Structure 1
Amino acid sequence: MTRPLQVVQAFDRAVITEIAVDDAAALEARLATASRTLLNRDAWLKPHQRSAVLLRTAELLQARQGHFARLIAQEGGKPLVDATVEVIRAVDGLRNAAEAIRTFAGREIPMGLTPASEGRWAFTTKEPIGVVAAISAFNHPLNLIVHQVAPAIAVGCPVIVKPAAVTPLSCLGLVELLHEAGLDEAWCQTFITDDNALAERLATDPRVAFLSFIGSAKVGWYLRSKLPPGTRCALEHGGAAPVIVDRSAPLDTIIEPIVKGGYYHAGQVCVSTQRIFVHADIADGFIERLAARVQALRVGDPLLERTEMGPLIAPREADRVLSWTEEAVAAGAKIVGGGRLSETTLAPAVLLDPPTEAKVSQLEIFGPVTCVYRYRDLDQAIDAANALPFAFQASVFSADIAPAMRAARRLDASAVLINDHTAFRTDWMPFAGRRQSGYGVGGIPYSMEDMSQDKMVVLRYEG
C-alpha cells in the first residue's frame, strides 16, 4: 500500500493533514479518462458551459476566501495578508478566463486575391489542442493552479493537474469547487504524487498534447527534452531580477516598492527583486533607508495578520540561502540583517557589493536576500543587469524620463517596470521568461492561445 503524503505547515512543520497519493495505475486511469473525453467530440463542452463553470467557481471561491487564504498561509507559508490577495487574484483569474471566451475566435482568411483562389470563402476556428498536463509550483499554490487550469477549461481541453507535493491542498480545494460548479470530473483531474518518475511519465505521455510546467529550470528544460514529437509546452522558471536606481530617483518613495519586490513571500517569487544597481551619488542614502526598512519587517507566523514576511518552504531551503550569504560575506560582501530565526524562517538580509562571481550574484536566491551594487555609468549597470543567462522582469527607478527610457530599451527582459518593483503582475498581462528563464508566454489569454489550435475551413461556391 502506498504511504500517504503528509502535508505540514511551512512555518512550524506541524502536520496539517495526510492525503492519499496516486500510483502508476491511477496515472494510467486519469490519462485514459482525459484521452477518451477528448476523443468524444460530440460531448465537448460548449462555450457557454465553460464560461458558466468558471464564473460559478469564481463565486464559490470568493465565498470561501478566508478558508483558502488560511490554507495558503499554512501549507505555503505566505503571510495571511498576501495569501488573501492571492485568493482575490484567483477569483479574478477565473473571471478573466470566462470573459476571454467571448472574444476567443478565429478569423477570415482573404480569398480571391489570385484567380486560383476565386470562388472560395475561408475562415479559421479554434479547437482545443488536446489533453493538458499541468505541473505546478509551491509558491502560489492557488493562483498558479488557476493560471494553468482555467485556460485549459476555457478552451475545452481536458486537464490533469499535479500540484507541488508540499502544497497540494489549495489545488485539491479549487478542483473540488470546479466540480461543485458543474464541471464533470473527466475535464479536470488531479494527480497527487511526490514521485518524480511518475510526474515525468505524466508530462511525457504521448496522449498529452500540451505540458504546462511551473518550477525549476533544471526540471523544466529536462522535461522539454523528453517530450514526444508534436507535444507543445510552456515553461515558467525564474531569474535574478535586476533593478536600476537612477540618481534622480526619489529615495523617500522608492524604498517601499523595492522592499516589497525583494521580500514578498520571503523572496520565493520567480521575478523577485534580487540585484539592485544604485548610482554611487545616492548609494549611501539608499542603503541606509533600505536597511532600516528591511530590518523593520515583521517576520514570523504567516497566520498572524501583522506578519509581513513568513518562512521558506522547507529547512533545506533555509540552509541553502544561509550558505550562499555566508559565501558572499566570506568573499568580501557586507551584510545587513540576516540570520536564522527558526528551522524554516530567516531574518531578511541585504548584501552590499557581493562579488560578481558569488552565487548570490549569479543564481536565483529564492530567499529573503537582496544584493546592492554601486555604479557610475548607466550603460555599465545595464550591461551588468543583462550579464546572466536568464532574463524575466526588470525595473528602473528614475524621476527623469531619459535614463528610464534608455534602461527600458536596453534591459534584456520580457517586461520592464518603470518606478515599480520587478514582481508586479496582473493576471491578464503577458508573463514570460526569456532565454533560460522560460519558454512560451503565460497570462490567462496567452495560455488560452497556447492550449488551442486553429482549424481552417475553406468553402468553395459557385456564382
Structure 2
Amino acid sequence: MRTHLTGQKMFFAGKWVNSEQIIEVRNPQDNSIIDVVPAATAEDMLNCVKEAEEGAEIAAAMPVHERIKVINGAADHIEQHSGKYARTIALESSKTIREAKKEVGRAIQTLRISAEEARRINGETIPFDQSPGSENRIGYFYRFPIGIIGAITPFNDPLNLVAHKIGPAIASGNAIIVKPATVTPLSALLLAEAFSLAGLPAKVLSVITGHGREIGDALVTHPAVRMITFTGGLEAGEDISRKAGLKKISMELGSNSPVIVLEDADLEEAVDSSVSGAFWAAGQNCLSVQRIYIQESVFESFKTQFVERTGEYIVGDKLSELTDMGPLITEKEAMRVEQLIEEAVSRGAVVLTGGERTGAFYSPTVLTDVPENCTIAKEEVFGPVVLLYAVADLDEAIALSNNVNYGLQAGIFTKNIDLAHKAIAKLDVGGIMVNDSSDYRIDAMPFGGVKNSGLGREGIKFSIQEMTEPKVVCFKLSSH
C-alpha cells in the first residue's frame, strides 16, 4: 500500500527538495513499502545549517504575536486533517490507529501550549542596590533565543515528540533542524508541512531525512548549532555527548520504570493501569511499566488478575479499531526482545503468559522469578514485557526500584498518604505518579529523569527555558 504524501521530499530551509539517494519507509506490520524519502548527505546537512544561520536571525526578529499565530495555525491544520496524520502514524510506526489518534490529539495540544508559552517568556527586575555602592543602578534580565537548535527524534512518537522540539523552539524565537528517526520520517514531514502552510518564514525550520551515521555528526558537531535536543537510547546519547562540544544538550534517554503496589491498593485499578502502561505502543515507550513490585500479601491476587488482563489484549492489524497492540518497529527489534527473554528464562525466569514472536509481532509477556543479573532486569527492554516481583514492604520496593542506572518515572498504588510521601521522597526518579502507573504524562509538565535517563527537562515551558538564555541589563544612573 502506498500513501500519497509530501514525505517524498524533505523540508530543506522552507523548500521541499529531493535527493539522489532514497530511503524506503516500511510498514512494520508486513514490511511493505509505504513511501520513500530522501537520504540526505553530510553536505546537505552542512548546507542546511548555513541556511539556518540566517533562519535564526529571522526567527529571533519574529514578534511574539506572529510566533503565536504560526504555531496555532499549524495546530489548526493538523486538527483539520487529523485522520491523515493518525493514519500516517499508524502506517509507519508500531502504533494502532487508536493510539495514533491519541498522539495526534496530544501533538495539537503540545502546539497550543507552545503558542501560549510564547507570550510568557518573561524576565525579572534585579535590585542592584542590594550591593553597597550600587545604589544608583537599576536593571533587569530578559531571555533571548540561543540560535540554531538541532533536534534528533525517535520512532515511538513520530509526531508528538517532534512537536515537543519544534513548538518550543519557534515559540522562543529559534531556528531548528530536525533529524527524524529513519524508520518514521513521514509524520515529521507532515508536521513541517503544517508549519509551512501556517506561514512560518523560510529557513526557520528544516526536517532533514537520512541515516544518522551519514548526517548526524554534521548536525551534532557543527559550531553554529548551539543546542542539541535528543530523545533516544543511552548509547546514542553518550555518543552525542562526546561529540557535541561546547553547546547545550538536552536528552531523554529512556528508563526501566518501576511500579509499586502496596497491600492497601485498589488492585483492579492498579492492574488496569499497569497493563496499559506496560503494553502501550508495544511497550516501546520510555515510560513503559517494566518492573512491578507487589506486596507479598496481595501478590498472588495481583498476579492472577494481571495475567488474565494481559491475556485479553488483542494483537493484530494496526488499522483496526479493535486492536490493542501492534508490532514492534522492526522484526530485528522483536528478535532482540526475544533474546532478552530467552536469557532470563535460561537463568530461572518463568513466563506466565506470552513469550511468542511472529515476525515483528511479540505477544504481551509477563515474567516472574527474574534474577537481578539478567539484562532485562537492569536495562530498558523497550518491548511488551513486564516483570512481577513480590516484596515484603515499601522499603524493599524502594530499594529494588532504585537499583538500576535509570530514573525517569515511577508509579505507586496506595491509599496511605504517609507511605505515598515516603516513596516520593525516596524514589530516585524525575516523576512519581501516585495511584497511577509510571506511564502517565501531560505535555505541559516538566519531563525528564536522573542517572542514565537523561539531562534537562522537556515540557513546553521547561524546554523554552533550555532553549533561551538570560541577558542582564544594568543602568548606572547619573547622580544628578
TM-score between both structures, scaled by the size of structure 1: 0.97
Mapped contact 1:245–1:398 kept (Cα < 8 A): yes
- Deviation readout 1:408-449 (Å, 9 max, x if unpaired): 221111111111010100001000121111001111110001
Aligned twin of 1:53: 70
Residue in structure 2 matched with residue 160 of structure 1 by the alignment = 177
For structure 1, list consecutive stretches of 5 or more residues without a partner in the other structure: none
- What residue number does 2:25 align with? 7
Alignment pair present for 1:101 and 2:102? no
Write the letter of the residue equivalent to 1:373. Answer: Y
Written as runs of structure 1 = structure 2, the 5 A alignment for 1:323-334 is 323-334=339-350
User: Structure 2: which amino acid aligns with 1:12?
Assistant: D
2-side partners of 1:251 and 1:224: how far apart? 42
* Counterpart position of 1:73: 90
Aligned to 1:456: 472
Aligned counterparts, 1:385-424, within 5 A: 385-424=401-440
Q: Which amino acid aligns with 2:301?
A: G
Q: Which runs of 5+ in 2 are unaligned?
A: 1-18
Equivalent pair of 2:58/2:204 in contact (CA under 8 Å): no
Give SS of 1:202's match. helix
Alignment deviations for residues 340-392 of structure 1 (CA, whole Å, 9 cap, x no partner): 35310111110012111111111111000100011113211210110111111
- Quote the Cα distance in structure 2 between the aligned partners of 1:351 and 1:341: 15
Find out whether 1:204 has 2:221 as its counterpart: yes
1:115 Cα shift? Answer: 4.3
Alignment of 1:61-460 (within 5 A): 61-229=78-246, 231-460=247-476
Structure 1 stretch displaced more, 90-99 or 29-38: 29-38
Matched residue type, 1:319: M
SS at match of 1:166: coil
Shift of 1:113: 2.4
Aligned equivalents of 1:297, 1:451: Cα separation in 2 = 41
CA distance in 2, matches of 1:128, 1:279: 49
Q: Partner letter of residue 22 of structure 1?
A: A
Runs of 4+ in 1 over 6 A off after TM superposition: none
Answer with 342-351 or 248-257: which moved more.
248-257
C-alpha distance after superposition, 1:69-94 (max 9, x if no partner): 11111101201111101000100110
Give distance in 2, aligned partners of 1:95 and 1:380.
42
Shift of 1:39: 4.5
Asked whether the 8 Å contact 1:79–1:303 carries over to 2, the reply is yes
Quote the Cα distance in structure 1 between the aligned partners of 2:84 and 2:163.
17
Q: Cα deviations across residues 267-312 of structure 1 (Å, max 9, x unaligned)?
A: 1001110000111111111110000000110111111111111110
Count of paired positions? 461
The CA distance in 1 between the partners of 2:309 and 2:55, in whole Å, is: 54
Report deviation, 1:339: 3.6
Q: In structure 2, do the counterparts of structure 1 residues 232 and 188 end up closer, same or farther at CA, with 3 Å as the change threshold?
A: same
Asked if the contact 1:353–1:374 (Cα under 8 Å) also holds between the matched residues in 2, the reply is no
RMSD: 1.4
Greater displacement, 47-56 / 16-25: 16-25
For residues 188-229 of structure 1, the C-alpha deviation after alignment (integer angstroms, 9 at most, x for no partner) is 011111141421221111110000001111111211121222
- Per-residue CA deviations over 1:143-170 (Å, capped at 9, x if unaligned) read 0000011111000101000000000000
For the residues of structure 2 that align with 1:379 and 1:137, how far apart are their CA atoms?
35
8 Å CA contact 2:151, 2:177 repeated in 1: yes
Deviation of the 1:2 alpha carbon: 4.0
Closer, same or farther: CA 283–54 of 1 in aligned 2, 3 Å? same
Is the Cα contact below 8 Å between 2:96 and 2:318 reproduced in 1?
Answer: yes
